[in-house]
Structure 1
């Protein structure tokens, strides 16, 4: 199968590249610059350009951004849309968060409908943010739940804006398929906090994805004085399981037309710190003394059965994920200190 993967240098996408190649698919990924594209190619030495190549899409929030990217001499059969706009400063929630997320998502769907009739499946990275109802949690979250956030609430602050951007973008995708009746079927992947090893061509802790930042801060001693920050989101998933879910959603016929709530279960910053303390004695002096978990006893439930039954996901456990993540981050530190690149890519056991 030939697959177009958007946002190729992203945390989840980089693992998608690995799994797509392992599953013997041909991959074209989008990046914003030649530098990023070359970096990814260099880290797959020996992979011919027929199996792995890239196209430049500078700004996914522009109308028609993907029109050329979806065209190919050997036609695409699937698209994995993991790209999402990234902004350093949110001054206007609608302009900086909502519009780009919605335009980026509907833009790829319009381009596929217009210029890639061979595509049969589009898989979009959504989020638990489009499922959660922070004001009134149900007894158990599943794919049937939607965040009820309104346009008015969305623009109140960046946190609301982020959740709304994910919710509105995913709803826009499902609405597009319902109204436009395109040549493809849609699946969405809805992960909560995504943790896991960083791929080996990330060589700066400044570039760590937001969810792994909490682990990077712990091993750098940034929590030692102030203590562990509040956990915030108590559900998590391993990035390799999220990437596999994207690939399987493109491969499995029964995944068509479905959302997938992908989560391995509960975690807290205290539990993460305890795992680091147990497995990395050299890092104990970087950690605060109080490693208690702030996870409430009466937390809402979750139902991840669809991802297991339809996609066949067998979730990584928290200890293995944290161990692999810390090893990969320590290797990044070594690269920074010694100025050479040491491979720290860690596969699933």
Structure 2
């Protein structure tokens, strides 16, 4: 006799990371998924791609409203075993940083967490997609004396956050995650809670049909270099960290399989440092790109970690217990999918 499938409510189902989470959940044959989308068109497109009877959708148009998830949870709450909250406001076309970025992030987290407490009596675990931005102030990224781990928090002040939209976004990620932790204590919840904090997320789109001229923020870094002119200088504007989307998706699912082990944990999803030259070096190993993109100064970034803040995520790796995908594989898989869709393979 087979074990009944458990139900996961996943917000922001059309997102880059979210689609990979759905794929891994469905592939495991252990879960049914209820995904929230902003429109029927988006839901229908995703349903067609996955083509699974274990995937259904609800429509939540504006997650920045505190009651945004109430109707969905009133309807399905008794069925929900787990919540994975990936939806988050992410845009820089704003006029008021506090009103357009920070407040919606806080309200969005508040709304879905309170709906989970109020309407999902059988909930076992709540996973929130946070960010490395909630852990580190990007102004300190090149301070090698700074050591960061799973307990680190972005120390940027509210006044600093109001200086520009990028600072505002980073601060909003901290506020969104802190809201979840504060509510879990304030409401004395009985279910487990985990935050997943990824750095730049590379890797292939879940479906080839999602490969468009401009990709999501992280993958666009790779996409830009796939299409760059060979005479273009490879600058040093990017010094950051990567992680593969498939590892990030798996990190959202492991807490559902062992709630006690992951309760109260923050998972710092970092696969290592990279710079623009690191990506160019890898792309030049792809025959279809050789001679079509710049070479730059080969291996210039090999020691880039020594120029950056030190990230120690050994606790995360020990908890998860799997090897992270290498920079070489994630960049190549991202690029090869783009070339395939463009008919260059």
Q: What displacement does 1:122 show?
A: 0.6
Paired residue secondary structure (1:205): coil
* Partner Cα separation in structure 1 for residue 240 and residue 336 of structure 2: 23
Q: Residue in 1 aligned with 2:20?
A: 15
Give the structure 2 partner of residue 44 of structure 1: 50
Cα gap change, 1:69/1:303 in structure 2, threshold over 3 Å: closer, same or farther?
Answer: same
TM-score of the aligned structures, taking structure 2 as reference length: 0.90
Shift in alpha-carbon separation, 1:73–1:259, aligned structure 2, 3 A: closer
Aligned to 1:91: 95
Aligned pairs (5 A) from 1:1-349: 1-24=6-29, 25-45=31-51, 47-48=52-53, 51-70=54-73, 71-72=75-76, 75-87=79-91, 89-136=93-140, 137=143, 139-200=146-207, 202-221=209-228, 224-252=230-258, 253-278=260-285, 280-292=286-298, 293-294=300-301, 295=304, 297-334=306-343
Structure 1 residue 169 displacement after superposition: 1.0
Name the stretch that deviates more: 18-27 or 307-316: 307-316
Residues 160, 227 of structure 1: CA spacing in aligned structure 2 closer, same or farther, 3 A cutoff? same
Q: TM-score, normalised by structure 1?
A: 0.89
Q: Deviations over 1:45-68 (max 9, x none)?
A: 3x22xx111111111111200112
For structure 2, the residue ranges without an aligned partner over 5 or more in a row are 1-5
The CA deviation string for residues 191-225 of structure 1, in whole angstroms up to 9 with x for no partner, is: 11110011215445245110010111111125x44
Distance 1:125 1:312, change over 3 A: same
Residue 229 of structure 1 deviates from its aligned partner by 4.2
How many Å apart are 1:320 and its aligned residue?
1.1
Report how many residues are paired.
331
1:88 Cα shift? 5.4
Task: Report the aligned-residue RMSD.
Answer: 2.1
Distance 1:257 1:7 in 2: 23
Task: Say which SS state the counterpart of residue 286 (structure 1) adopts.
Answer: coil
CA–CA separation in structure 1 for the residues paired with 2:44 and 2:138: 41
Deviation at 1:38, TM superposition (A): 1.3
CA distance in structure 2 between the aligned counterparts of 1:166 and 1:214, rounded to whole angstroms: 21
Deviation digits for residues 70-105 of structure 1 (CA, Å, limit 9, x no counterpart): 241761110010111233512211122111111111
Instruction: Tell me the distance in 2 between the aligned counterparts of 1:312 and 1:87.
Output: 34
Given that residues 203 and 333 in structure 2 are in contact (C-alpha distance below 8 angstroms), is that contact kept between their aligned partners in structure 1?
Answer: yes
Contact kept, 8 Å, 2:202 with 2:330, in 1: the verdict is yes
Partner SS, residue 284 of structure 2: helix
For structure 1, which runs of at least 5 residues remain unmatched after alignment?
Answer: 338-343, 345-349
